Amino acid sequence: MTRPSAPLAVLLLFAIVLLAACASAPRPAGPAAPPAGAPPPPVADRESGEIPDSKPIVTYKPATSPFEKAGGGTNVRANQDASGRNQNETTIAINPTNPDNFVGGANDARLGSWTAAFYTTTDGGQTWIDGISPYRKHANQGDPTAAFCGDGTVVFGYLDYVGAYQPVRLVVAKSTDGGLSWPQSGVVAESQGTPFIDKPYIACAPNGTGAYANRVYMSWTNFGATTSPIRVAYSTDRGVTWTGAKNVSGSGGVQGSVPVAGRGGVVYVFWGGPSGIEFAKSTSGGASWSGWQTVSSVTGIGDDTWFRRNSFPTAAIDTSRTATDGFVYVAWADSRNGDADILLSRSTDGGTTWSPPLRVNDDPVGNGRDQFFPWMAVDGEGKVHLMWHDRREDAADDLFHVFVATSRDGGVTFDRNVKVTDVASRSSLTNFLGDYSAIAAGGGKIVPLWSDLRAGTGEEDAFVEVEPAFDYDTVQGLVFAGKTQLGFDDQEPRLGTGIVYDAISGLVSDLAAPDAWTRASCLAENLDAPPLAVPGLPPAGDALWILLRAEGPRGTGSYGSGSEHPDPRDPFDANPICD
């Protein structure tokens, strides 16, 4: 199939259809390996046979994204400075009222000391403007965190500090023009040094009715002389004034908190604690909190050879108003399998119970390659998106890429992992990569933002990738007309114009052969619309199979890439019949 002009490669729509030569012809579950030593079955005559009235249809679900996106050079640098200094510890959010407007940020050393910079785009990530922390009192800023409220207001939080256990403020700037200007700010908390405020993160509730719509929440660790709890405060005016600050955790050994805000005053805060991943919940918009509880035990990953790492959680809540609305998800890096993996647990009952941890990275278990710094987002259709740093391609466990994975069934299963970085980064070039990364999702987009070392000099830059987030439906409405053509629903009314189709076909009797794909033929390449002409009929007692693939201007599809490995369609990815 001719690849469409757009470089993003995750649109995957397919169906497998069988034309049986008689009603008694077997209906296969997919290609099966032949008995050991058995010769491949003969190639049958393709020019005879009859098609019965029954028209069985076989599809492999869930349809998922390819191994990695096709095309190259699609990563974009978000920071616009030419200082050669570092950007790390990223954050990003998508405007729910304008999905082409993203606001990100990072620790940024462009001034020679640390500040918190913001990065803003209004054209879907093609071009960016940036600037440093808009409200500064002390010498340093850091730990940036951004969130959009349901009404399109963006809040950008960061620490403003002198040094550890020296004067510090937790500041939030507010923008109503998508991060182009920051005319207002507020101070969440302030200290002369003890307790020292650290590791803040921000969330904002979605639109809705009632007092809790668009309420902003900030959590942080209060490092005191004898106690160091997680604290949370809230704002009812999009970050200008703050109230309700409360301790929600135990008194020590806690860090890496992240809040997630639902509707109706529901908000959770997760953190890493003595018992593993812990959390507290409020159903009153932060006015009162439950006692802390445990999601899961954790086998921490510990520091890296070159820089510090952690098993802090990332979390998200579904506010999609779909069947998974209200589901809560938490993920973290864990070494229980011998190397660092990304694990996820979900709750479908408001945090009362949690699923056993699910391993999201799909490289071989215990292969000695690390995955770390996960971040997560749930989009408006209820799809769960995870990103992380991944070393699966380097036996030395040094070079890393950024991978993402998507769940379309409420966190039960995840698609194949997708590599989104164009160039690997060498971990050994830096001694600090921050403590977290970032991903946002919404408006049909998945947008990871990470600290990248592709310059090869040790310079860290904030790079972003924009991927489409489609529903990966099978081709629908399959029906045979006159036993000579296959009709199906055109995807363009649902997914946009410019979609074309490839179709390959073969005999069911060939499927047991290890080289079954070489016995198939291309029925159509770049078919603009249904129906598909069926040029030949199967011999008596056999059946034809037909595999359809759709491609559109926003992505290149794949014949295979199902969630079960190996997928029976994988050979057609490796050796495509239609080029």
Three-state secondary structure call for residue 570: helix
pLDDT tens-digit series, residues 360-399: 999 999 999 999 999 999 999 999 999 999 999 999 999 9
Q: Where are the beta strands (DSSP E) in 283-352?
A: 293-296, 314-317, 328-334, 341-347
* Region of residue 485 (phi > 0: left; psi between -120 and 50: alpha; otherwise: beta): beta
CA distance 400 to 390: 5
Indicate the pLDDT class of residue 128, thresholds 50, 70 and 90.
very high
Q: Which amino acid is at 434?
A: G
Top pLDDT among 222 and 3 is at: 222
Hey, which of 61-75, 395-409, 544-558 has the most confident mean pLDDT?
A: 395-409
Percent of the chain residues past pLDDT 70, beyond the cut: 82
Q: What is the pLDDT of residue 77?
A: 96
pLDDT tens-digit series, residues 71-121: 447 899 999 999 999 999 999 999 999 999 999 999 999 999 999 999 999
- Max Cα–Cα distance, the chain, nearest Å: 87
Q: What is the pLDDT of residue 555?
A: 47
Please check the confidence at residue 34 and state whether its pLDDT lies above 80. no
Q: What is the pLDDT of residue 275?
A: 97
Q: What is the pLDDT of residue 489?
A: 84
Q: Sheet harboring 184-191: ordered strands across?
A: 140-148, 154-161, 168-175, 184-191
CB 448 within 8 A of CB 404: yes
Indicate the pLDDT class of residue 123, thresholds 50, 70 and 90.
very high
CB 329 within 8 A of CB 344: yes
CA distance 215 to 210: 10
Q: What is the pLDDT of residue 481?
A: 81
**If we measure between CA atoms, which residue out of 77, 78, 25 comes closest to residue 56?**
25
Please check the confidence at residue 304 and state whether its pLDDT lies above 50. yes
**If we measure between CA atoms, which residue out of 543, 556, 443, 537 comes closest to residue 3?**
556
How many CA atoms does the CB half-sphere of 121 hold within 13 Å? 25
Please check the confidence at residue 29 and state whether its pLDDT lies above 80. no
Window from 124-138, 449-463, 499-513, 559-573 with minimum mean pLDDT:
559-573
* Count of beta carbons in the 10 Å neighbourhood of residue 512: 16
**If we measure between CA atoms, which residue out of 12, 10, 75 comes closest to residue 466?**
75
pLDDT tens-digit series, residues 2-27: 433 322 222 334 445 566 543 333 33
Q: What is the pLDDT of residue 474?
A: 54
Give CA separation, 392 vs 92, 312, 395, in Å. Answer: 25, 21, 7
CA distance 20 to 545: 8
**If we measure between CA atoms, which residue out of 116, 180, 110 comes closest to residue 144?**
116
Instruction: Provide CB contacts within 8 A for 494, sequence distance 6+.
Output: none
pTM of the model: 0.77
> Based on C-alpha coordinates, what's the Rg of the chain?
26
CA distance 267 to 122: 29
CA distance 337 to 144: 32
Considering the chain, what is the average pLDDT of its residues? Answer: 84
pLDDT tens-digit series, residues 426-471: 999 999 999 999 999 999 899 999 999 999 999 999 999 998 775 4
* Count of beta carbons in the 10 Å neighbourhood of residue 308: 12
Give CA separation, 165 vs 194, 248, 395, in Å. Answer: 6, 22, 41
What is the dihedral angle through the alpha carbons of 512, 516, 519, 525, rounded to the nearest 10 degrees? 130
Domains of the chain, CATH where assigned: 13-64+472-574 (no CATH), 134-436 (2.120.10.10)
Please check the confidence at residue 50 and state whether its pLDDT lies above 50. no
Q: What is the pLDDT of residue 475?
A: 66
Indicate the pLDDT class of residue 299, thresholds 50, 70 and 90.
very high
The structure tokens 């805000």 sit at: 261
Interval 30-34 mean pLDDT: 35
Indicate the pLDDT class of residue 285, thresholds 50, 70 and 90.
very high
- How many degrees, rounded to 5, is the angle at CA 45 between CA 54 and CA 558? 65
Structure tokens belonging to residue 292: 């802390």
Helix or strand holding residue 574 (H, E): helix 570-574
Omega before 62 cis (within 30°)? yes
Interval 202-227 mean pLDDT: 95
CB 21 within 8 A of CB 483: no
CB 137 within 8 A of CB 163: no
Structure tokens belonging to residue 407: 């769940």
Top pLDDT among 502 and 496 is at: 502
